[in-house]
């Protein structure tokens, strides 16, 4: 069993470059080149007008500028259309990938991650990936392509400006983003940590308000919450200052480049190496090009954000899970006294704990046996039951069901009537919370077995268990088991919250209905009727001498 660990996906998060994003990049490049040509012609038209060129000579330039403006608007529209469609398609695919990877690792995933963290991954981290196309990859690719084309063009009549553009391109596209990337990642990680800490404290404060009030700790907890909010505000301010400074650096580079452009033009004109007619055109064109580099102002931060989001999603998606196995075990087809469970030197350790919860457990349970496991809270009883349900892998040792470790996990759960300490209920009627689409007569019989015949099937209950008492919810969870009718009953603290007399009656009904029964409890009053009783002490299982 310890070897039955696989990966949820053969690969981690897979973000593909589809046809839409390729078209968006091409259209973005074309649109930028058209903008450069439009401003170049505008500068040329201004110069010719100043030199007194006749109107008919300027008509061609005017029409060309208008045509370029129209072309730029069209390309920009379709570039936005394709880029946003590619982004939404990518987010859809990532959500599907993440969900498909998450399903096989439940409930094992909850041993590694908090529920709030998983919800954060499914919402905020996936949402942050929307920037991976438009703000991480798209700007440097489009700006890089247009800069290279511009450099090649300028080499033929003004090489100094081509060299200047190359230097600006290296600084804007490579040096500044790479120098800032590590700092951006540190700021993003700090901000996420402060945000998660604040949200945990906030929800604890809201959910535990009455408890804090009873113990006169509202003021202390509110002070800690305010301090967490202050730290979050400081982290957000630090993030904003990083954005401002990064954008300032790129603007400084652009302004210096424009200044050097003008100096180069003046110097070349004095040397007779540059046509003065093209001076205005060159300045306007390069001014437009350098303004495009401002798009790079957020690349470093969003690169750090998307890298962190991808890493956190991959941590969940590549988490090992218990393999399904190939052999489908049907308990009804097994002969009586067949060895159903066999645990040989089984050890189990949670990923977040250094010490094992179960230590060298030896256990054999035959079909038809009724077994009780005694033990104090935290002794490992619930963990052992989760292993028997096939929900958790074993760290060391051998675990077989009906003689095989390759049992089909999902099919095995259909053979088990399982009761955990945290049975889930939903907003809806009693009938809906029975979870089995049985007849009204069967539902009422199940409720009668647990002493809930006085509660109507149409009565509504809530997710947070406010409509019934704790004992009534426990009995409602037990009523589900009779409707499911599986042969193997694995119950964790079935008498919890139930009075002794009613618990005895319910256990009597369970003994009559269950083919094989395994109960974890610390209630000595329900031990009658069991064939074997074990005691769990600090993760070690031993026979209980008195039944």
Task: Give the percent of the chain with pLDDT over 90.
Answer: 21
pLDDT (0 to 100) of residue 345: 92
Take residue 63 and report the two structure tokens written for it.
């029409």
Percent of the chain topping pLDDT 70: 95
pLDDT of amino acid 236 = 92
Could you tell me if 407 and 329 are in contact, meaning their C-beta atoms sit under 8 angstroms apart? yes
pLDDT of residue 1: 40
Q: Which of 221-235, 316-330, 413-427, 429-443 has the highest mean pLDDT?
A: 221-235
Report helix, strand or coil for 456.
coil
Locate 395 and state its tokens: 């760290």
Q: In whole angstroms, how far apart are CA 284 and each of 39, 45, 268, 289, 383?
A: 6, 12, 17, 9, 72
Sequential DSSP letters for 41-62: HHHHHHHHHHTT--HHHHHHHH
Mean pLDDT in residue range 146-162: 86
* DSSP letter (8 states) at residue 314: H
Mean pLDDT over all residues of the chain? 85
534 DSSP β-pair partners: 373, 543
As given in the structure block, the two tokens for residue 541 are 């299982």
Please name the helix (run of DSSP H) or strand (run of DSSP E) that holds residue 341, with its range, or none.
Answer: strand 339-348
Q: Provide mean pLDDT across the span 314-339.
A: 82
pLDDT, position 3: 41
- In the block, residue with structure tokens 């349970």: 365
**Residue 5: its pLDDT value, please?**
38
Find where tokens 């956190």 sit: 312
For residue 6, the model assigns a pLDDT of 37
As given in the structure block, the two tokens for residue 333 are 């087809």
pLDDT of residue 419: 92
180, 300 in Cβ contact below 8 A? yes
Q: What would the two tokens of residue 94 be?
A: 């990532």
What pLDDT is stored for residue 320 in this prediction?
63
Within 272-298, residue ranges assigned H as helices are 279-292
User: In whole angstroms, what separates CA 252 from the centre of its chain?
Assistant: 38
The whole-number pLDDT of residue 529 equals 86
Q: What is the pLDDT of residues 498-527, one digit of tens each?
A: 998 999 999 999 999 999 999 999 888 888
Local confidence band at 228 (pLDDT 50, 70, 90 cut-offs): very high
Q: What is the mean predicted confidence (pLDDT) over 110-135?
A: 77
Question: Of 115, 114, 174, which Cα lies nearest the Cα of 139?
Answer: 174
CA distance 510 to 503: 10
Residue 2 reports pLDDT greater than 70? no
* Torsion angle (degrees, nearest 10) of CA 306, 307, 310, 313: -100
Question: What global pTM score does this model have?
Answer: 0.67
Q: Comparing 445 with 321, which gets the higher pLDDT?
A: 445
For residues 386-396, give the mean pLDDT: 86
DSSP 282-337: HHHHHHHHHHHGGGGGGHHHHHHHHHHHHHHHHHHHT-EEE---SBPP-GGGSPTT
Residue-wise pLDDT for 527-545, tens only, equals 888 999 999 998 899 988 7
Angstrom distance (rounded) from CA 237 to CA 242: 9
> Would you say residue 9 has pLDDT above 50?
no
Contact 306, 136 (CB under 8 A): yes
With b for 16 or more beta-carbon neighbours within 10 A and e for fewer, the 143-172 pattern comes to bebbbeebbebbeeebebbbebbbebbebb
Positive or negative, the CA dihedral 119, 122, 125, 130 is: negative
Closest CA to 407 of 318, 357, 341: 341
pLDDT recorded at residue 7: 37
**Rounded to 5 degrees, what angle do the CA atoms 414, 419, 421 make?**
145
Position with higher pLDDT, 113 vs 384? 384
Structure tokens at 381: 């009883």
pLDDT value of position 121: 66
Greater confidence (546 vs 57) lies with 57
Instruction: Please report the pLDDT score of residue 13 as a whole number.
Output: 67
Integer-rounded Cα Rg, in Å, for the chain is: 35
Measured distance CA(41)–CA(67) in Å, rounded:
11
Residue at token pair 């200044």 = 259
Instruction: Inform me whether the pLDDT recorded for 472 exceeds 70.
Output: yes
What pLDDT shows up at residue 4?
Answer: 42
**Element of type H or E holding 13:** none
Q: Domains for the chain: give ranges and CATH numbers.
A: 5-321 (1.20.1560.10), 331-543 (3.40.50.300)
What pLDDT, in 10s, does the model give residues 15-35? 777 788 889 889 988 988 888
Please give the backbone phi and psi of residue 208, each rounded to the nearest 5 degrees, phi first: -105, 20
Distance of CA 318 to the CA centre of its chain: 12
Asked if residues 343 and 392 have their Cβ atoms less than 8 Å apart, the reply is no
CB count within 10 Å of CB 208 equals 15
């Amino acid at each position: 069993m310890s070897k039955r660990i696989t990966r949820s996906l053969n690969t981690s998060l897979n973000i593909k470059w589809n046809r839409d994003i390729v078209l968006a990049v091409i259209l973005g490049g074309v649109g930028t080149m058209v903008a450069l040509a439009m401003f170049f012609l505008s500068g040329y038209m201004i110069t010719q007008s100043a030199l007194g060129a006749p109107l008919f000579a300027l008509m061609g330039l005017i029409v060309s500028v208008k045509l370029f403006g129209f072309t730029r608007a069209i390309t920009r529209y379709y570039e936005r259309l394709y880029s946003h469609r590619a982004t939404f398609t990518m987010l859809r695919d990532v959500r599907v990938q993440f969900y498909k990877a998450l399903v096989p690792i439940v409930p094992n995933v909850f041993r590694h991650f908090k529920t709030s963290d998983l919800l954060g991954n499914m919402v905020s981290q996936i949402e942050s990936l929307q920037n991976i196309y438009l703000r991480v990859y798209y700007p440097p690719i489009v700006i890089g392509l247009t800069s290279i084309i511009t450099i090649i063009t300028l080499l033929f009549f003004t090489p100094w400006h081509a060299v200047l553009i190359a230097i600006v391109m290296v600084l804007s596209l490579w040096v500044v983003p790479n120098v800032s990337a590590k700092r951006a990642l540190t700021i993003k990680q700090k901000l996420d940590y402060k945000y998660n800490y604040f949200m945990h404290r906030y929800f604890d404060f809201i959910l535990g308000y009455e408890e804090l009030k009873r113990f006169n700790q509202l003021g202390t907890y509110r002070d800690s919450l305010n301090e967490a909010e202050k730290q979050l505000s400081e982290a957000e301010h630090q993030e904003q200052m990083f954005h401002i400074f990064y954008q300032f650096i790129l603007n400084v580079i652009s302004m210096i480049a424009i200044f050097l452009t003008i100096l180069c033009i003046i110097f070349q004109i004095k040397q007779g190496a540059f046509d003065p007619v093209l001076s205005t055109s060159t300045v306007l064109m390069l001014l437009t090009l350098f303004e495009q580099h401002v798009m790079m102002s957020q690349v470093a931060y969003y690169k750090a954000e998307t890298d962190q989001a991808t890493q956190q999603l991959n941590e969940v998606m590549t988490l090992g899970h218990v393999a399904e196995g190939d052999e489908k075990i049907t308990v009804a087809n097994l002969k009586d006294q067949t060895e159903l469970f066999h645990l040989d030197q089984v050890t189990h350790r949670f990923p977040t704990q250094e010490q094992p919860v179960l230590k060298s457990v030896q256990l054999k349970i035959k079909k038809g046996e009724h077994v009780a496991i005694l033990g104090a809270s935290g002794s490992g009883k619930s963990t052992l039951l989760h292993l028997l349900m096939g929900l958790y892998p074993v760290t060391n040792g051998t675990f077989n069901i009906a003689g095989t470790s390759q049992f089909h996990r999902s099919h095995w759960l259909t053979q088990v009537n399982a009761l955990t300490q945290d049975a889930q209920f939903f907003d809806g009627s009693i009938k809906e919370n029975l979870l089995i689409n049985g007849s009204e007569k069967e539902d009422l019989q199940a409720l009668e077995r647990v002493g809930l015949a006085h509660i109507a099937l149409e009565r509504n209950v809530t997710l947070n268990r406010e409509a019934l008492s704790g004992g009534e919810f426990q009995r409602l969870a037990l009523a589900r088991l009779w409707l499911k009718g599986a042969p193997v009953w694995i119950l964790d603290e079935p008498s919890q919250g139930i009075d002794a007399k009613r618990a005895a009656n319910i256990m009597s009904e369970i003994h009559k209905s269950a083919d094989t029964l395994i109960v974890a409890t610390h209630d000595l009053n329900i031990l009658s009727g069991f064939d074997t009783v074990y005691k769990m002490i600090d993760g070690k299982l031993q026979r209980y001498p008195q039944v």
